[in-house]
Amino acid sequence: MNARLFAVIAAALAFLLSPKLPVLAVTEIDQPPCRWFHYYGGDSATYISYRWGSNLQGTSLWRTAFEQSLQDWNNTPTRLLYYFDSYGDVHINTYWGENDGLAGFAVPYCSGTTTIAYDVMGNTYYDALYGYSSNHRRSVTGHELGHGWSLGHITDPGTALLGNNPDPETYYTPQQLDIDLVNQVYW
């Protein structure tokens, strides 16, 4: 075999056997305008700080739901972790949003394409109106905390916490599609 043919075959094998960037298997409907800074590849984790807003300083059903959802996200096999800091970058709170049509919302604050802060909110109005179950509150808080990691909605709405309007009695913890999205964005 001549040297040139051998070099071409060796280069092709090296390419085929080399590590590749992850294939984007989960699609976001509405990708946020920025993402948290993260060291890609390797084994390092990204830690995102949170703090409690004025409406969640004491014990409440919403505080409990947020605490459970923080733990749910931190227990997923991803490289992102929430931790408490009284000056945290993710501000978690509740509001009374009469007739705004939202169970909660999350707003990113960006510096270019890098996330620098997030507001994550739960709407107590609809809870008072409809009497949410603990799973329903946990679904809302888990969904909004997923946005706090700078993640958009997943195109498969019925089978993911980050889907549009997932069944709150079924999807109140991160599902495999949610975990796949985190690992796809922050690999």
pLDDT tens across the length of the chain (187 residues): 565 544 445 444 443 343 443 445 788 888 899 999 988 777 789 999 999 999 999 999 999 999 999 999 999 999 999 999 999 999 999 999 998 999 999 999 999 999 999 999 999 999 999 999 999 999 999 999 999 999 999 987 678 999 887 899 999 999 999 999 999 999 8
CB environment 128-151: b (16+ within 10 A), e (fewer): eeeebeebbbbbbbbbbbbbbbbb
Main-chain phi, psi angles of 85, to 5 degrees: -150, 130
Q: How much of the chain is helix, strand and coil, in % rounded to 5?
A: 35, 20, 45
CB-based contact 134:167 (threshold 8 Å): no
CATH architecture of 3-185: 3-Layer(aba) Sandwich (3.40)
Residue 121 Cα distances to 1, 39, 55, 72, 96, angstroms: 67, 28, 10, 17, 10
Model pTM score:
0.84
Block residue for tokens 């946990």: 138
- What pLDDT was estimated at residue 111? 97
Q: Pick from 25, 31, 26: which is nearest to 151 by CA?
A: 31
Q: Tell how strand 104-111 and strand 114-123 pair up.
A: antiparallel
- What pLDDT was estimated at residue 1? 52
